[in-house]
Amino acid sequence: MKKAGLILTLSVFLLVWVCPHAGANDGPHETAPGESAGWLADAGGRSSSEASNIGRQESLRQAAAAPAADPFSEDYVEEEDEVADLHAEEKVTIADPIEPFNRAMGAFNDRMYFWVLKPVALGYNEVVPEPARISAKNFFDNLGFPARFLSCLLQADFSGAGTEAGRFAINTLWGLGGLLDPAGSETLNLQKQDVDLGQTLGVYGVGHGFYIVWPVYGPSSPRDTLTNIGDQFLYPPSYIEPWYAWFGVWAYEKVNAASFRIGEYEAVKSAAIDPYVAIRDGYIQYRAKSVKARKEKSLLFRDAAGETRKE
């Protein structure tokens, strides 16, 4: 009981302390469209800009020589892409100083998937019908309520927090302890909030740092690693004792989750020219978009997010 009180005071303190700071630092940061232009210049690399200029002139000359109707002769123009990408901030990259380590871990995870996770999940799929697997997923999702609820509060997304509280109450009481998801039905339409502590830091402007691929856990960053540990503290199954019972539950949850996603990794891998870079970019794009979606729901950042949308 004492512990719960402590956590509550801590979260309220964090909320009060972080808000004014974040407002002062991040308000202008988010609305500045010049940011993206700066990034673009950086990405191109100053030393290389000359070289690419020469290249462009050359291809322009070639384009002029080719017949006008040839669609292949049309050059790439930077501006047209600005419009297409809608939000300048979408252009996200991540530093990757430990790439050799990450590539090795990626290769390890690849083997783990094909040698362990996939065969187990396929066997599990054969034995357990889909409705039962969905129920198991619902059950674990329901236990994730404390982490999602706290993240919503910390992000000043009070409607999201309300939705989560309502879902937890309804699904626990009328959904057989979370096995069913009556709250998510069409009539009630209380959908699970896609939220975690890593996004919460992201909303307040904390960057990833750099890219890390953990064995088994997969793509991450220092920010998301630390906050994921925080999320685990708020996840009841983490407290199961003894450790092998915890491990059994953990492994079961992973296999159950994987059973819905068999084939997705294979598809990404076969479509990619360099799967490592494809997954790194996918991870960073996905995280950036979800942070942006959270900002639009936050009382503190909604206006800033809306402004960038209009631009």
Partner 1 sequence: MKKRLAFMGILCVLVMSTAAYAAGPLATAEVAVGKVLDVLRDPKFKGPEAKQAKTERLRVIYKDMFDEIEFSRRTLARNWNRFSPSERAEFVDLFEQVLEKAYLDKILDYSNEKIVFYQENMLSDKQAEILSKIVTSSKEIPIFYRMILKDGKWKVYDVVVENMSLVQNYRAQFNDILGTDNPPEQLLVILRKKVKEH
CB neighbours of residue 195 within 10 Å: 26
| Residue 172 tokens, joined | 């626990």
Q: Of 11, 25, 62, 159, which one interacts with partner 1 (CB under 8 A)?
A: 62
Torsion angles phi and psi, residue 32, rounded to 5: -75, 110
Residue 48, interface with partner 1 (CB under 8 A)? yes
Q: Of 6, 12, 24, 86, which one interacts with partner 1 (CB under 8 A)?
A: 86
Residue 280, interface with partner 1 (CB under 8 A)? yes
Q: Classify 210 as helix, strand or coil.
A: strand
Nearer of residues 45 and 119 to partner 1, judged by Cβ: 45
Residue 307, interface with partner 1 (CB under 8 A)? no
Is the four-CA dihedral 20, 155, 38, 103 of positive or negative sign? positive
Give residue 20's identity as a one-letter amino acid code: P
Site map (CB under 8 A) of partner 1, residues 112-151, x = contact? ------------------x--xx--x--------------
Query: What are residue 214's DSSP bridge partners?
Result: 218
205-230 in b/e burial notation, b at 16+ Cβ within 10 A? bbebbebbbeeeeebbbebbebbbeb
What is the Cα–Cα distance from 7 to 57, expressed in whole angstroms? 61
According to DSSP, residue 102 is labeled H
Nearer of residues 22 and 94 to partner 1, judged by Cβ: 94
Q: Of 186, 273, 310, 311, which one interacts with partner 1 (CB under 8 A)?
A: 273
Nearer of residues 6 and 132 to partner 1, judged by Cβ: 132
Give residue 211's identity as a one-letter amino acid code: Y
Among the candidate windows 161-169, 172-180, 195-203, 275-283, which touches partner 1 by CB under 8 A? 275-283
Interacting residues with partner 1 (CB under 8 A): 44-45, 48, 51-52, 55-56, 59-60, 62-63, 66, 70-76, 78, 81, 83-86, 90-91, 93, 130, 133-134, 137, 260, 263, 267, 270-274, 277-278, 280-282, 285-286, 289-290
